[in-house]
């Protein structure tokens, strides 16, 4: 597991304490009962704090599961590394 996914898992654990690893990997509002609109705002804000990113309105609508958020962060990370090079 890479550093990004570990940090993202920690964010999920802060908002949804008690989730097992495998539950986090598949986490979405469908699989987690406590994932309501407030949890969405808390989760995305914590991710913004942790990764120094800022989600626009489209991303707020699209990023509704662990895999989708991880993919977004990995793409962001690759882009910023490419820009550095």
Partner 1 sequence: MKLVDALRILREAPHNAKPFLTFLACGFTPGHLQTFLAANLQTLLPDRCVEVTTGLYGDIAGNIGQIDTLDGEAAAVIVEWSDIDPRLGIRSLGGWGPKQLEDILRSLLPQLNRIKEHLQNASARHQVVVSLPSLQIPPIAFTPTWQASSFEQELEEEVARLGSWIVRQPNLKLINSAYLTRHSSGFDRFDVQSEVLSGFPYGLSFASRLAQALAQLIINRVPKKGIITDLDDTIWRGILGEVGIEGISWSLERRGHMHGLYQQLLRALSEEGVLIAVASKNNPSIVQQALKSDRMFLSAKDVFPMEAHWGRKSESVSRILKTWNVSAESVVFIDDSPMELAEVKATHPEIECILFPKDDYKAVYLLLTNLRDLFGKTSITKEDSIRMESIRHSAIFKESVDDPFSADDFLRQAEAKLELSLHKIPVDPRALELVNKTNQFNLNGKRLSETEWQAFLGNPESFLLVAEYQDKYGPLGKIAVLAGRNVDNKTCVEVWVMSCRAFSRRVEHCCLAYLFDKFASEEIILDFKVTEKNGPFQYFLSEFSPQPSALGLRIPRGSFIAKCPARFHSIRELNDE
Binding site for partner 1 (CB under 8 A): 11, 14-15, 17, 41-42, 45-46, 48-50, 56-57, 60
Non-local (6+) Cβ contacts of 25 within 8 A are 66, 67
Angstrom distance (rounded) from CA 8 to CA 68? 11
Residue (57 or 82) nearer to partner 1, CB = 57
Residue 85 CA to residue 80 CA, distance in Å, equals 9
- Tell the smallest beta-carbon distance from residue 46 to partner 1 (Å): 5
- How far apart are CB 10 and partner 1 at their closest, in Å? 9
* 17/81 with CB nearer partner 1: 17
Q: How many CB atoms lie within 10 A of CB 62?
A: 13
CB of 49 to partner 1, least distance (A): 5
């Amino acid at each position: 597991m890479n550093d990004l996914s570990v940090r993202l898992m920690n964010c999920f654990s802060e908002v949804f304490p008690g989730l097992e690893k495998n539950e986090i990997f598949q986490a979405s509002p469908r699989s987690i009962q406590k994932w309501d609109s407030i949890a969405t705002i808390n989760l995305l804000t914590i991710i913004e704090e942790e990764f120094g990113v800022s989600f626009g309105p489209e991303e707020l609508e699209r990023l509704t599961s662990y895999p989708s958020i991880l993919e977004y962060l990995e793409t962001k990370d690759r882009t910023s590394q490419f820009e550095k090079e």
